[in-house]
Chains A and B, each alone.
Chain A
Amino acid sequence: MNRYTRERVAGVAVRAATVLVLAVMAIVIGVTLARGGRVLLANPAIVVTPPGSRYMLEANGGFLHAVLGSLFIVGPATVVSMVLAVSTAAYLQSDYSSERFSDVTNMFLNVLWGTPPIVYGVFVLTVVIALGARTSMFYGIVAIAIFQYPIMTRYTDEALRSAPDTVREATYGLGATRFESAVMTARAALPGIVAGVIMGFARGVGDAATVLFTAGRSTRMPGGLFEPATTLPVLVFDQATSFNAEVRSHAYAASFVLIVVVLGLILASKLLAGRYARFAPGGRNS
């Protein structure tokens, strides 16, 4: 094989690999949308119907409990996690911390970012056991917040890093305190931060392993902060291997809702980032 043939073969190989990856994506999204869509078209009310008493066995009723559970668990978790993540990133990026401390903390953040979600689930579970408490919506929120924290910090950190230095210099030049300067920097990095928070929400809403043991896997409507709850991914996970075909069909309907939400969030994050980009001098819009 001479070098020109090799060149052509390589060109074909890299294209084939990319096409393969994209085709797999098309299959995954297509199958979910087609199967779930069919179930939802036949009976769209299951999304807003509370589950019946033997829902996991006979599929009477719908999965409103999981939809609400997802909202009530991931929503607060995202808010908590966002506050923590923005604060951490601000601390690491601004003049509060030494470079050495930032380096070490970034290392720990990277490691946390790669930690499997189930570990967070087990960790929160050990806390629940140690407190002698019962699994509930509250611990689901804690677990998801911990899971989202490194993800959002990473995005926020990147956004703040890409904010132009001139913003900080100008604010200091006008006599601002460190905090005021950090706020202005955050404003300049807003598109990246917003995109990061939305991505964090998307990751949190799609994750099952963290809430599997911590939120209680309930099959009833969420009753309160310290009552058991469930989320959509956990519901899909539980229903997917059911022997009852109708229960399985609900898993497809639930995963349709899930994938539409996640795709919508990614789209929103890209659009918002592009929209806010004009307020950010020199900020990257990714």
Chain B
Amino acid sequence: MGEHSGGSGSGAGDDGRSPRIGRRLLVERLSSYWLRGAGYFAVGLFAAIVVALLYQSLPLLAEYPLSEVLLSSNWDPAQNQFGFFPAIVGTVYVTILSMAMGAPIAVLAAVYIAEYAEGRTRTLVSSFIDVLAAIPSVIFGLVALVVVVPFVGNYLAPAVGADATGLGILTVSLVMAIVVTPFMISLSVESLEALPDELRESSLGVGATEWETIRSVLLRAAGPGIFSAVLLGFGRVFGATIVPAMLIGGQTQLPDSVFSTGQTLPTLIVNDFGELMSLPLTQSALIFVGLLLVVVVWLFNFAAMLVRRRLQRRWQYQ
């Protein structure tokens, strides 16, 4: 290639072809720089996020040991008390509750779409799921304010003898289960569809019913894929911001029941944002929350990726 560009440099103008190939090679060279830059952009962005968040949360970590910050339940930025424990407990509560509600439904619906539905029904249902996945989360929050909040406050909480306004951990979990389900469905459908048809054929061929095929062959074969979908769902709920901020009630306390109000890590950032600009230590504390979120969500993602890799390796022969 160097030979070509050298030749075009000396022979420019001599005949009609050389300047053209020179220009083409110039475009090729310039575009390859640009594309290389774009290729490194993802890694660069990743690194920049880690460095920026880490650097800005250093003031907090210099002042307090990590264990104290994570395990103290005293959150009062005005008094320089930064205990993330209530928010961590709230986040874990919400994540586990919504996954407990969302994951089984997501897997069942994915089985329906991948194995039961056919033809037009299948296209229709899966495009509706796509639509559901694309609805902005702020709309889920808004609708939940008029549907789920009164339902929890007026019916569900009195039915179990709890006193609640309707805002709280259970409400957030319910809505987050709805938000994250379509996402898990489409990922699970993908991994079910990727299975070779011979699996279905041979299982049905030896006399298994459809459900037996699904349960003991397909779900087991696609297990890593579905598991990784659920892990990604975990990550989604863990980092969800808008829905919890609208529905959780925003009180930094250790939740004593599923109906009590609380705080999750992202809502901590949203609710205390007003104070952020003025106090450097609060600013650092809230950026540390961001760092914490990133680390946990990335752990979920990496775990999901490793699991998926295993699935891909297992079905490589197809």
Contact = CB atoms under 8 A, between A and B. Distances in A.
Interface of A: 3-4, 6-7, 10-11, 13-18, 20-22, 24-25, 27-29, 31-32, 35, 84, 87-88, 90-92, 94, 96-97, 101, 104-105, 107-112, 114-120, 122-123, 125-127, 129-130, 146, 149-150, 153, 177-180, 182, 199, 202-203, 205-209, 212-213, 233, 236-237, 240-241, 251-252, 255, 258-259, 262-263, 266, 270
A7 B241 contact: no
Going nearest first, the 4 A-B pairs with the smallest beta carbon separation are: A116-B239, A206-B136, A87-B38, A17-B108
A16 B241 CA distance: 30
Contacts of A96: 32, 35-36, 39
Contacts of B300: 114
A114 B236 contact: yes
Interface of B: 24-25, 27-28, 31-32, 34-39, 41-43, 45-46, 48-49, 52-53, 55-56, 104-105, 108-109, 111-113, 115-117, 125, 127-132, 134-143, 145-147, 178, 181-182, 185, 209-212, 214-215, 232, 235-236, 238-242, 245-246, 266, 269-270, 273, 283, 286-287, 289-290, 293-294, 297-298, 300-302, 304-305
Given A14-B112, A116-B297, A22 B27 contact: no
Given A22-B128, A87-B35, A123-B290, A7 B46 contact: no
Contacts of A123: 48-49, 52-53, 290
A24 B178 contact: yes
Nearest to B130: A266
Contacts of B55: 126
Given A13-B108, A236-B139, 14 more contacts: A6-B211, A10-B210, A17-B105, A17-B112, A22-B125, A87-B35, A96-B36, A104-B43, A114-B235, A115-B49, A116-B240, A126-B53, A146-B45, A177-B24
Contacts of B242: 208-209, 233, 237
B35 A233 contact: no
B218 to A, nearest CB: 12
Binding site secondary structure of chain B: helix
A266 B134 contact: yes
Given A91-B35, A255-B142, A240 B241 contact: no
Given A209-B266, A258-B136, A114 B38 contact: no
A235 to B, nearest CB: 9
A196 B246 CA distance: 30
A101 B39 contact: yes
Contacts of A129: 56, 283
A212 B270 contact: yes
Given A6-B211, A263-B131, A178 B273 contact: no
Given A114-B236, A270-B127, A91 B109 contact: no
Contact of A31 (B127, B146, B241, B287): B146
Binding site secondary structure of chain A: helix
A115 B31 CA distance: 30
Contacts of B211: 6-7, 10-11
B275 to A, nearest CB: 13
B135 A115 contact: no
A84 to B, nearest CB: 6
A119 B294 contact: yes
28 contacts: A7-B209, A10-B214, A10-B215, A14-B108, A14-B109, A17-B108, A17-B112, A18-B112, A18-B113, A22-B125, A31-B146, A87-B37, A88-B39, A88-B42, A96-B36, A105-B43, A108-B46, A109-B42, A114-B300, A116-B297, A127-B52, A129-B283, A178-B28, A179-B28, A207-B136, A209-B266, A213-B273, A240-B142
